[in-house]
Homo-oligomer: A and B are copies of this chain.
């Protein structure tokens, strides 16, 4: 069970995370590509850390929206989405080459990630970009009841998928995240989180109705943009070995 974490999200003088503290404990860094965060030099520093700690690099492309940190949906055409993904994955690969590593997967960021999950045309635009860039890069997306459908769709483009689960979010019996804002949506306390990590690593999760359900995930998404998150990552790493 690999740990993936969003990084490279500083911008110029603005710092986002203590990346040197996080990097040694994760397996996969989803690195910002300049559209929601990450200027070229910021990204390069993140990649140097990733190489130092043997962490796999993934591209984390987003809508062009620095003010909104890529979290505001933008009504882009499929052609626009496809081109912006190609541009960002390529830009990151350019910096990767300079430090002797490479992009190994693609995980869209923020609103682009969520739009991809609810709008097939966005998902297809992203898959088309990956297929025409390098079909051996899997697309990382959320483990949901639609995982099989997503896998079939990706296969149409010759692209594989990686399913990610969340250590600190409560799941519904249907295998979806309890929406933020609803009671119990976010797990608090290390005990709860580590318990869920153990369960997911074993292929199941205790849902909001208190019962266990199967949950197939390739990787666990963790958050390194605050000290509490970093401490949790360290404990999850210890738990998973």
Contact = CB atoms under 8 A, between A and B. Distances in A.
Interface of A: 10-16, 34, 39-41, 43-44, 64-69, 71-76, 79-80, 83-84, 86-99, 111, 129, 132-134
Contacts of A132: 97-99
Contacts of A69: 12-13
The majority secondary structure among interface residues of chain A is helix
A85 to B, nearest CB: 8
Contact of A73 (B74, B79, B88): B74
A6 to B, nearest CB: 12
A66 B39 CA distance: 10
Contact of A65 (B14, B74, B84, B133): B74
Nearest to A89: B94
Contacts of A80: 40-41, 68
